[in-house]
């Protein structure tokens, strides 16, 4: 039985919904061209004919990083290349680390030995530009219009000042995941959830990860400063006078302590699932997804990237009862974020891009630089193009930033793997028994559609990311009190530690 269902066309709404965090950053450093690679300026659209013609003008391969789950997408992009160029791309599978850690531990410390092309979330772009590690895409308006035409207004996602420093990959947002059997009525205001014990609410999320924890604050900041200026509560001003107004705002302080208290209650729970999520560690995400699938958790805040794992847990739990798998899938749904204290919760306008490593592409013979950079640009355009939008969604839960992107959910081609396996690559789940089960295709379409709709609706509400000082506040939030192995012992202590960490970040950034 074959079922292929185009579940959504979403290019246009994200053109309206996503404006990059740093439109106010016109004072970002302009990278010194000096002896390093000049910013891209070929004054024409790179074509397949060009890269074929120039393939002998450079040696070796370009290296492209990817998370393990993205491997099928990279493979397809390589297979779309002309035969003579397929061997010119080397995949760097980040099996033992993450794309974010790769940026911190490899790109920023040894850029010339890092990959030519690497993935980065939008909050890291400003620092990559400041450190002169990201190659600008085109230096004239004409170049930029041609090179980034594929992405429409979403090219603003990767804009710093007047330049563009990556090819947009996807748009994303934290949304609400909901098991209707466990939590029959979705709460309108999260306050009603946080005021209960975790055992009663059956609610878990990664407040210990500020990327998700930020949703607790952005609605308040939008009320205080307006949506356009909400990010200034996180970081305001320019070096040497960058400040973090929220850290001394009483309503913000109350939220900080509330987040700590709920997280602490999770850690102290007698329910092993809740306790595992609260303690963090490698089993936190797996426990959340498995709990939603098995009806042990009723609600969570997370991103579209968990969708495939969530479905996999449902199928594994019902491998001998496909009819029950259908019923479970029908009970799973996603929505935009709820309110908190009467304020609509908001995430950051977010997503990822593929960045060209300026230092690495300059670290070759002068006679090879132009042709090598030309091919790196061509492949990165291909990798982030609408041709692969279905593959990015199916394999990574990433909703393409390309303006003509659409998603085809083809159950014969959908690859789901066993998230419980330690093997590499993870074994595939046999979908044949499920595809033939009455109602399965409709339940899958409903769930996948709900994710895209929820991201669409939430993205329209989200706020710009601030111009984060340095690498942002992620470590300042996570290291003490929420995800550290040596937890703060009280909400007051956590706030005190967090404030001290923020002040250290600001002190360093203002030097």
pLDDT at 142: 79
**C-alpha–C-alpha distance, residues 108 and 278, integer Å:** 31
pLDDT at 391: 92
φ and ψ of 244, to 5 deg: -125, 80
Same fold, 4-172+349-400 and 175-346+416-505: yes
Task: With beta carbons less than 8 A apart as the criterion, state whether 51 and 44 touch.
Answer: no
10-residue mean pLDDT series, the chain (511 residues): 40 31 32 40 64 89 95 96 94 92 95 97 90 90 83 88 93 96 96 96 92 97 97 96 97 96 93 91 93 97 94 97 98 98 96 96 92 93 94 89 83 87 90 94 93 90 90 81 68 91 94 92
pTM: 0.78
Look at strands 89-93 and 117-121 and give their pairing. unpaired
Q: How many CB atoms lie within 10 A of CB 13?
A: 17
Runs of H (alpha helix) within 318-422: 322-331, 358-362, 366-383, 389-396
- For CA atoms 392, 397, 402, 403, the dihedral sign is positive
Task: With beta carbons less than 8 A apart as the criterion, state whether 243 and 236 touch.
Answer: yes
**C-alpha–C-alpha distance, residues 309 and 69, integer Å:** 10
pLDDT at 22: 29
φ and ψ of 44, to 5 deg: -165, 160
- DSSP annotation of 236 reads B
pLDDT at 488: 79
Q: Which two tokens stand for residue 460?
A: 């329209």
Specify the fold of 4-172+349-400.
D-Maltodextrin-Binding Protein; domain 2 (3.40.190)
Q: Is 132 helix (H, G, I), strand (E, B) or coil?
A: coil
Look at strands 350-356 and 117-121 and give their pairing. antiparallel
pLDDT at 301: 98
φ and ψ of 488, to 5 deg: -60, 150
In CATH, what number does 175-346+416-505 get? Answer: 3.40.190
Q: Which two tokens stand for residue 301?
A: 């805040």
φ and ψ of 477, to 5 deg: -80, -45
Domain coordinates in residue numbering, the chain = 4-172+349-400, 175-346+416-505
Q: Which two tokens stand for residue 397?
A: 């839960």
Label residue 177 exposed, middle or buried (CB < 10 Å: 0-12, 13-18, 19+). Answer: buried
Strand ranges across the sheet with 332-335:
203-205, 299-302, 175-179, 332-335
């Amino acid at each position: 039985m074959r079922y292929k269902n185009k579940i959504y066309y979403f290019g246009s709404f994200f053109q309206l919904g996503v404006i990059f965090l740093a439109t106010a950053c016109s004072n970002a450093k302009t990278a010194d061209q000096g002896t390093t690679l000049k910013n891209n300026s070929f004054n024409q659209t790179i074509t397949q004919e060009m890269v074929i013609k120039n393939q002998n003008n450079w040696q070796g391969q370009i290296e492209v990083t990817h998370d393990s789950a993205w491997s099928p997408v990279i493979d397809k992009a390589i297979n779309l290349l002309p035969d003579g160029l397929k061997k010119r791309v080397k995949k760097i599978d980040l099996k033992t680390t993450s794309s974010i850690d790769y940026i911190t531990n490899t790109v920023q410390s040894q850029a010339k030995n890092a990959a030519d092309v690497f993935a980065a979330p939008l909050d890291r772009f400003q620092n990559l530009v400041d450190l002169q590690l990201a190659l600008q895409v085109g230096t004239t308006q004409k170049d930029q219009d041609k090179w980034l035409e594929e992405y429409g207004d979403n090219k603003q996602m990767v804009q710093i000042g007047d330049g563009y420093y990556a090819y947009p990959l996807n748009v994303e947002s934290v949304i609400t995941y909901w098991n209707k059997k466990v939590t029959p009525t979705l709460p309108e205001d999260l306050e009603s959830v946080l005021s209960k014990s975790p055992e009663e609410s059956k609610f878990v999320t990664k407040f210990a990860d500020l990327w998700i924890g930020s949703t607790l604050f952005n609605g308040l900041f939008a009320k205080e400063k307006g949506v356009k200026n909400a990010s200034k509560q996180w970081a305001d001003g320019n070096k040497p006078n960058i400040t973090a107004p929220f850290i001394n705002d009483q309503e913000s302080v109350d939220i900080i302590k509330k987040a700590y208290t709920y997280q602490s209650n999770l850690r102290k729970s007698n329910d092993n699932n809740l306790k595992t999520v609260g303690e963090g560690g490698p089993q936190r995400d797996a426990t959340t997804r498995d709990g939603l699938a098995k009806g042990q958790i009723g609600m969570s805040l997370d991103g579209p990237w968990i969708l495939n794992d969530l479905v996999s847990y449902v199928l594994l739990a019902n491998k001998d009862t496909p009819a029950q798998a259908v019923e479970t899938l029908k009970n799973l749904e996603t929505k935009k974020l709820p309110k908190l204290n009467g304020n609509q919760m908001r995430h950051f306008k977010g997503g990822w891009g593929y960045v060209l490593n300026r230092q690495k592409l300059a670290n070759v013979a002068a006679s090879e630089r132009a042709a090598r950079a030309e091919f790196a640009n061509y492949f990165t355009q291909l990798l982030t193009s609408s041709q692969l939008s279905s593959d990015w969604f199916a394999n990574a839960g990433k909703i393409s930033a390309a303006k003509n992107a659409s998603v085809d959910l083809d159950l014969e081609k959908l690859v789901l793997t066993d998230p419980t396996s330690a093997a590499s690559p993870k074994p595939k789940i046999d979908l044949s028994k499920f595809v033939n089960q009455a109602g399965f295709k409709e339940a899958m379409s409903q769930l996948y559609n709900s994710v895209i709709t929820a991201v669409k609706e939430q993205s329209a509400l989200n706020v710009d990311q601030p111009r984060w000082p340095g690498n942002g506040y992620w470590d300042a939030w996570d290291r003490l009190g929420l995800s550290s192995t040596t937890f703060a012992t009280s909400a007051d202590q956590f706030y005190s530690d967090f404030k001290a960490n923020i002040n250290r970040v600001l002190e360093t950034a203002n030097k």
